[in-house]
């Protein structure tokens, strides 16, 4: 079962794991089309995405993750893909295990969410 991880934002981190739970690849996306293309190309059964907590003191562009979460939710609904939303707080546990595994912090964050999801399922 392929799993795609998503770290939503102005720069969105994406990664994919194979059926054995091994990391395949990751990249950054800066548009909704790039995210849609990545998910379509890898045909996951599950998409794991980081949730977002609203902070009213931040500028409007800070809310880009909310819009990306909505886009990913639509893509998953439209294609019949199960979507798992996880708290950003899991990064404290999982992110340290991704250091040096990819140059992009956004891809590392997406990867950490998938790793946490897989560990929880065991």
Domain residue ranges in the chain: 3-121
Q: Distances in Å between the alpha carbon of 112 and those of 51, 74, 94?
A: 13, 23, 5
Mind listing the pLDDT tens digit for each residue in 74-114?
A: 999 999 999 999 988 888 777 666 666 667 889 988 998 99
- With contact defined as beta carbons under 8 Å apart, do 113 and 50 qualify? yes
Assigned superfamily of 3-121 = Ribonuclease H-like superfamily/Ribonuclease H (3.30.420.10)
Q: Which residue has 């800066």 as its token pair?
A: 30
Mind listing the pLDDT tens digit for each residue in 21-65?
A: 899 999 999 999 999 999 999 999 999 999 987 766 666 556 788
- With contact defined as beta carbons under 8 Å apart, do 69 and 110 qualify? no
| 116 vs 29, residue with greater confidence | 29
**Total-model pTM:** 0.86
């Amino acid at each position: 079962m392929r799993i795609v991880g998503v770290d939503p934002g102005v720069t969105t981190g994406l990664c994919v794991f194979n059926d054995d739970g091994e990391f395949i690849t990751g990249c950054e996306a800066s548009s909704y089309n790039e995210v849609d293309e990545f998910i379509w190309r890898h045909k996951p059964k599950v998409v794991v995405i980081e949730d977002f907590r609203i902070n009213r003191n931040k500028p409007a562009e800070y809310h880009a993750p909310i819009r990306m979460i909505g886009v990913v939710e639509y893509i998953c609904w439209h294609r019949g893909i199960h979507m798992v939303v996880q708290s950003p707080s899991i990064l404290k546990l999982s992110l340290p295990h991704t250091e040096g595994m990819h140059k992009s912090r956004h891809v590392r964050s997406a990867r950490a969410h998938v790793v946490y999801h897989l560990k929880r399922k065991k």
